[in-house]
Structure 1
């Protein structure tokens, strides 16, 4: 059995989707087959003590591909007797791959997310991404969008070594009946049609588009409510927008919620929507959108924006609808159509649940990960 060292800036207890992805892969490796080297973070000691694998913390909160990080990574590689290295985010730490190979790593894998696709469009970053690809045995991609964008920056040999690896969904936690009734009661939404969005509050995710669309939704479904789950720097702007549009009484902000409460918050909705859109000329783009799959696992129809790889997480017309993230009329029409046709919404939710069970479960992704490690 191989033993793998995961070198990553993105790891709990720091919150985030990449962190959950990398931790999900690590925690599903066989006992004794993984170790992690990651930055220090508040609460790390208590978190690390609960893990079934060793976690070695870097002294600072950020690791860059420089000699000190290389030295510590090589020390962990040797001390833990690892024979492969996985970079939790290939850019930029994947630049360490050739040096770690010389220090004993037999197989090197770099995981990519969304930002590497942005790197592929910038001259200097594009060159760096090409160097990273040449130093790895495998560079992963989330879906066809990110694969095609990154492949342009890679040598033909590196592009040929790309393989798909996406986050998994815990279909046992994210399921219909996961506690949504309690969340509805808490926010006074018990008998109202609810559109829920679970995401960090930042401009790319499109919560502002939902609020702009909300007056049109209320024209067709007067008692509808919009439940915005998550925290972030955009909250104050969104609250002002809701007030200016006159819909503040039907928009609920929950703030950040603990991970263990997320399934219940999805389950509180009748429709899930996150109309993400690409910003900054393609540099700020959705890599995949695991929230759509978590919503599908919970039995909800989804309305997704068309940014980057988001459409890869939706079977358009079957598990949900993909709309232009900047089109308020198209967004409003999708929401009112699903809220006004519960049977159609239910069928989409059922198909989404079946799709997740078939292709997106964590055990499926964990098996793919093992194959990339040469098992």
Structure 2
């Protein structure tokens, strides 16, 4: 929630830009882990749970700090969900701006007018150290667009975004007209490389606020994402890699199949489009792999398959080419569901 690339200032355009509870995301994830651990079995059969699957956007800003928090939340460890100044929160919730809930302040902000309370010490608590017990059953991981793309929607690899992420300036407010223009463009997929977003940030340089630079906010690559899952420190209850294997690292892929039970096969897809935009699709290579996997499963007489993906069929409409595979076609939700 303190990441410089976040666009909370678009809140007036879209509720997804910022939500009042987001500073509690890590604490909420740990609480969810504790709740899952407390479940003794299915409500009807009492059968014990087999595994947990995350379905993407395990991080928000494609930041190394967040990846570390996610893996420790899932497999166990101590977490300090804070970047920048280690002594205090530096983000929109202590900005004095009425657009955001200011929990520690007396300011009558927009959220307090809707009933949100004033809570002394809220932000200190939100960035304080906590310990996750880790899940007590195996867990698997599916990738989402926020795990791979700057802002969840721009093609990765631009050094401007990487430098901005670890830097000491953060934009917290924007005129509604400029916000509407940038958001309308994003919704239409009109800025896949983030050039308009970059131009906006440059044009607003004088209006940015100072925050403490932090290298831990640097973006991670898909290879680093895989290697972090394969780190023995994050194995927890297993499996090692949480679905990913060294074969994924070698091939540069983030999709895999795993055995749920004797008669159920699990398949985890990578539906993020490296060409940019928050909607997804799959490349021909992955679609062909899926078809082979389904046919092999049928030949073996297995009766059921569960397919996991971050995007739904309706949000796989982005057929922009993968810049790393420019000759490969992309395939949308309709084609995937037909298969």
TM-score normalized by the length of structure 1: 0.29
Greater fraction helix: 1
Q: Which is bigger in relative contact order (C-alpha 8 A, separation at least 6)?
A: 2
TM-score normalized by the length of structure 2: 0.31
